[in-house]
């Protein structure tokens, strides 16, 4: 019996809610005018207004369609130009990258060449010093040889006089 009491209360609550809803619907029906002519006229006015708005919208669309098509054509042209510009820029970026690589290579080669030149300059300075030293020694050797030739000449002269 305990289970049936809550079920009965629930059924009673549902019935009361349904009664309340039906009373509200009855009240709404009482507010409608008994003659539907007013409602028909109101609906007819709404149909006429909506028909006029539709006709205006169709006319507006007809008037604006060429402009919209022109704008679509402009958008397509600009899109094509943009894409062409991007492709051109991409090609130029690749060319610039190639040139940057060449500049980097040439800079490295120049730096290596300058370093090689500095190394060779050092070698030239060293060899120049050696040449100057050898030239000095040669000159001293010539002077000594000349001096010896002079002494030999004197000694030959003495020997010749002694032999005579």
Sketch the domain layout of the chain as residue ranges.
49-163
Q: What is the DSSP letter of 35?
A: -
Confirm if 97 and 103 have CB atoms less than 8 A apart.
no
Predicted TM-score (pTM) of the model is 0.41
Q: Which of 122, 125, 121 is nearest to 133 (CA)?
A: 125
3-state percent helix, strand, coil for the chain, nearest multiple of 5: 95, 0, 5
Sign of the C-alpha dihedral, residues 8, 12, 17, 21?
Answer: positive
Is the dihedral angle over the CA atoms 107, 113, 119, 125 positive or is it negative?
negative
d(CA 43, CA 51): 12
Evaluate whether 33 touches 39 at the Cβ level (below 8 Å). yes
Q: Report the distance separating Cα 156 and Cα 143, nearest Å.
A: 19
pLDDT tens for the 164 residues of the chain, in order: 456 777 777 888 888 888 888 888 888 877 766 666 777 787 788 888 888 888 888 888 888 889 889 999 999 999 999 999 999 999 999 999 999 999 999 999 999 999 998 999 889 999 999 999 999 999 999 998 899 888 888 888 888 888 77
What's the half-sphere exposure (Cβ side, CA atoms, 13 Å) at 55? 6
């Amino acid at each position: 019996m305990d289970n049936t009491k809550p079920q009965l209360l629930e059924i009673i609550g549902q019935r009361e809610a349904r009664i309340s809803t039906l009373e509200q619907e009855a009240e709404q029906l009482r507010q409608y005018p008994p003659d539907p002519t007013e409602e028909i006229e109101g609906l007819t006015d709404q149909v006429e207004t909506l028909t006029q708005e539709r006709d205006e919208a169709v006319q507006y669309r007809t008037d604006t369609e060429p402009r919209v098509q022109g704008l679509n054509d402009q958008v397509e042209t600009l899109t094509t130009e943009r894409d062409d510009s991007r492709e051109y820029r991409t090609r130029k970026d690749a060319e610039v990258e190639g040139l940057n690589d060449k500049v980097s290579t040439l800079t490295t080669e120049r730096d290596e060449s300058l370093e090689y030149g500095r190394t060779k300059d050092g070698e030239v300075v060293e060899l120049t010093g050696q040449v100057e030293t050898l030239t000095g020694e040669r000159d001293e050797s010539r002077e000594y040889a000349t001096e010896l030739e002079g002494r030999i000449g004197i000694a030959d002269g003495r020997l010749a006089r002694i032999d005579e």
